Chains A and B, each alone.
Chain A
């Protein structure tokens, strides 16, 4: 199957698949948009008793999922060389940022009543919000420097900078865990994924030192 695909120009395949992936990444937003629209038509029809919280939660969940998928991408591409998953990493990472930004915007508009005073009070007083907002804040430099230009300009520093994504992952998981009242199901699932990805990263780092050229390849854009 994969061999068959390689009869086409690889760049063409990547281009087409990137468009496909882009649309898939928009799907959760589309579904949410449909629910919001239904909610406008008939309150209570799509988003339950507390639609504001529902919207904020859905966006937040997808933000953390996309973050973990992005991390998976880097890890997997180190293992499976045939498919250059790393080529989709930037788009997935930017989607994580987009969903996180929408998550915050929804919180700001629907829960904090568009009052910065409430947001800053939450930031100072509620540790889980401090964690979440820090994660979002740290995603900003990563998103800005995600372009090929910045990657060239920063060279080795780029990789160092983008390792921040692991710290962001930890902040995001803590954000979810501290939000939980009694069930740690979501937090446990996310933490489990993050743990696997982090340990894989650490193990590969050791191996990478031993086998430098192979390790370098994964940083191709």
Chain B
């Protein structure tokens, strides 16, 4: 099976990986710069920010996870299960996004709203011990440790396009397993029609959750229709680029739904709840007119503030805008379109 070999993984120099001490220092520095930015609107806050960027010390380091998980991720199969092969992007225009970009440019508002905030601040996140609560319309509810959750599953590497609702995209090799297989282990009852996912709330480690200016009501919530969740393309990821997930990318456990906008692929999951009624998602609660429940990638339905017809593949450069046409269902229409047959996708955006 064809998998794009990612040379960049091996190219990350040791010098690019931030030591613990540097990390702590930077956080102190950032604390100061936040005060500074607040006190001097027109002052040098931007200069400070630039310095942080220039330092190129954003961490690609994995979150601290138990040793067994690290080796299991490293030993994941790179051969895809049947049916996934066709979904793997593999033409020349779809090179993997280099790891240092995919781990440095994140929307994870729990850590802050700047794209670099998560990479700077997520090193603090405690991911071991970790447990996931299974609740709602399910035969075997309870609090499961990460080991309980992961043990029965073989990991595989899947290369997926990631299309953000902000009209940029990346191509990322995830390591994980089928969502369907996990969900079915807990025995969803006949009433279960939807599955909701909830992110960790821990303001002392996730500074964005303290922000007075954020409109998100924590915890961050996402949900899928159960048949969407059972689709073979939907996966839970524990790693990327052959390593356990870094905190900024949603360690230790996150959802990946490649045919939907990135915000559906919720990070750092602590609860999975089966429901009969459609749960409200975080972005729906903030702006229902801009973000629907389905949030399927759809070039024909514009977000009110930006066009979804095209996307810019990151990393960008100052020479070319890397703009390309956005495809229906992010290019996974062949696999997933049948989930939505007969639905008016302009209405159910």
A residues contacting B by CB (< 8 A) are 28, 31, 35-36, 38-40, 43-53, 55, 58, 61-62, 65-66, 68-69, 110-111, 113, 121, 125-128, 178-179, 181-185, 188-190, 193
B50 an interface residue at 8 Å Cβ cutoff? Answer: yes
Complex contact A44–B215 (CB within 8 A) = no
What does DSSP make chain A's interface, helix, strand, loop or mixed?
helix
Per-residue interface assignment for chain B, residues 299 to 337, with 1 indicating a CB less than 8 Å from any chain A CB and 0 otherwise:
000101111000010111110010100000000000000
Q: A110 near B321 (CB under 8 angstroms)?
A: yes
Expressed in whole angstroms, the Cα–Cα distance for A58 and B50 within the complex equals: 10
Q: Tell me whether B42 and A68 are in contact (CB under 8 A).
A: yes
Question: What 13 additional pairs, Cβ within 8 angstroms, besides A35-B50, A36-B318, A189-B41?
Answer: A35-B54, A40-B318, A45-B54, A46-B50, A47-B53, A50-B105, A51-B317, A58-B46, A128-B305, A179-B305, A183-B214, A184-B213, A188-B213
Cα distance, A113 to B319, chains bound together (Å): 10
Query: Are B53 and A46 in contact, CB atoms less than 8 angstroms apart?
Result: yes
A99 to B43, CA, bound (A): 16
Whether B41 pairs with A126 at a CB distance below 8 angstroms is no
Closest beta carbon of chain B to A51's beta carbon, Å: 5
B115 touches A48 (CB 8 A): yes
B142 to A: closest C-beta gap in Å: 33
Closest to A114 in B: B321
Q: What are the interface flags for B5-42 relative to A under an 8 Å C-beta threshold, 1 for contact and 0 otherwise? A: 00000000000000000000000000000000010011
Tell me whether A49 and B318 are in contact (CB under 8 A). Answer: no
Instruction: Select from chain A the residue with minimum beta-carbon distance to B321.
Output: A113
The secondary structure that dominates the B interface is loop
Q: Which chain A residue has the least Cβ–Cβ distance from B286?
A: A182
Cα distance A45–B56 in the bound complex, in angstroms: 7
Residues of B within 8 A of A181 (CB): 113, 166
Question: A192 CB to closest chain B CB, in angstroms?
Answer: 8
Interface string of B35-67 (1 = CB under 8 A from A): 000100110001100100110100000000000
Task: Number of B interface residues at 8 Å Cβ cutoff, please give it.
Answer: 38
A86 to chain B, nearest CB (A): 18
Q: A31-B50, A58-B46, A183-B113 are in contact. Are A48 and B305 (CB under 8 A)?
A: no
Interface presence of B101 (CB below 8 A)? yes
Given known pairs A189-B38, A193-B41, the reply for A49 and B316 (CB within 8 Å) is yes
Q: What's the minimum C-beta distance from B340 to chain A, rounded to whole angstroms?
A: 26
* Complex: A91 Cα to B16 Cα, angstroms: 43
Any chain A CB within 8 A of the CB of B271? no
Q: Are B46's CB and A61's CB within 8 A?
A: yes
Whether A183 pairs with B318 at a CB distance below 8 angstroms is no
Q: Which of A47, A125, A185 contacts B113 (CB 8 A)?
A: A185
Q: CB-nearest residue of chain A relative to B58?
A: A48
Contacts A40-B318, A43-B315, A113-B323 given; indicate if A50 touches B46 (C-beta within 8 A): no
Q: A52-B316, A62-B46, A65-B42 are in contact. Are A126 and B306 (CB under 8 A)?
A: yes
Q: Tell me the complex Cα distance, A128–B41, Å.
A: 21
B100 at the interface (CB under 8 A from A): yes
Most A-side CB within 10 Å, residue of B46, B168, B215, B312: B46
Bound-state CA distance A43–B101 (Å) is: 11
Chain B nearest Cβ from A191, distance in angstroms: 11
Q: In the complex the two chains form, is B215's CB within 8 Å of A49's CB?
A: no
Docked CA distance A128–B305 (Å): 7
Q: Contacts of A182 on B, CB cut-off 8 Å?
A: 109, 113, 214-216, 286
B284 interface residue per 8 A CB criterion: no
A190 touches B316 (CB 8 A): no
- B116, CB-defined interface residue at 8 Å: yes
Beta-carbon contact of B305 and A183 below 8 Å:
no
What is the 8 Å Cβ interface bit string for chain B, positions 271-286, against chain A (1 contact, 0 not)? 0000000000000001
Q: CA separation between A42 and B283, bound complex, in Å? A: 37
Asked if B54 contacts A68 (CB within 8 A), the reply is no
Task: Decide yes or no whether B179 CB sits under 8 A from chain A.
Answer: no
B211 is an interface residue with CB less than 8 A from chain A: yes
Interface pair B317/A43, CB less than 8 Å apart: yes
B104 in the interface (beta carbon within 8 A): yes
> Is there contact, CB below 8 Å, between B104 and A49?
yes
| CB contact under 8 A between A49 and B113, given known A39-B318, A182-B215 | no
